[in-house]
Amino acid sequence: MNKIIQLKDLGNKDYKATWEYQEELFKGIVDLKIKNRREETNLETPNYFLFVQHPHVYTLGKSGDLSNLLLSEKQLEAKGATFYKINRGGDITYHGPGQIVGYPIIDLENFFTDIHKYLRFLEEAIILSLHEYGITCGRSEGETGVWLGAGTPFARKICAMGVRASRWVTMHGFALNVNADLGYFDNIIPCGISGKAVTSLNVELGVERVNEEEVKEKIRKHFSNLFNATFDKSEIVNQQSKI
């Protein structure tokens, strides 16, 4: 089993271009698994982890409700935002500057074959990272992601999650608000959950800006520990010219 994960930092990248790149990596792993099965070979499958930030964009999961987008096409254009209906789980969410997005594209058969455990580990990597900043956070029963004040009238979501998996290969992932413009969340019913607020790490810490590279390093460390994996950082430099 290959427990090495190739880490790629894409910098600031268009959502559609990144989605297509995810699909390319995803298909490469799935095709290799099919080849192994058909030809009775045992070729090692690769694993990837993409860090990226997107220009303003709203995405709707395959089971999401379009009515949770509160903007018309013209209003989207006026805000400089785009919209995509995509093939992950979950409802609607927002991506934009100041938000760290992580897309693990991994073969779970290299680690464990349990989607529920995979989602919980994704949440745990974020929870442990935020704990390093003195942030008390955790899970909210029946609601994927990472929350502050769960179960109270002050519940607020700091990290959204939505994944797709086929043949135990994952794609899509998480979006952690670090220095996000929370005003963009006013244009949707985030994750289809009414009456719940969203927050950002800089807001919770009461600072203007948090070092995003430092946050990414903490996420990488905890993800690596949870999955008992090793990151290959040889391609951590900006990959924009390659996709």
Catalytic (active site) residue 191: yes
Backbone angles phi, psi at 165, to 5 degrees: -140, 135
Enumerate the β-bridge partners of residue 173.
162
H or E segment to which residue 21 belongs: helix 15-39
5-38 burial: b if 16+ Cβ within 10 Å, else e: bbbbbbeebbbeebbebbeebbeebbebbeeeee
Q: Which of 159, 176, 191, 198 is catalytic?
A: 191
H or E element in which residue 84 lies: strand 82-85
The Cα-based distances of 66 to 39, 143, 189 in angstroms read: 43, 19, 10
HSE-up of 76 (CA within 13 Å, CB side)? Answer: 16
Active site residues: 191
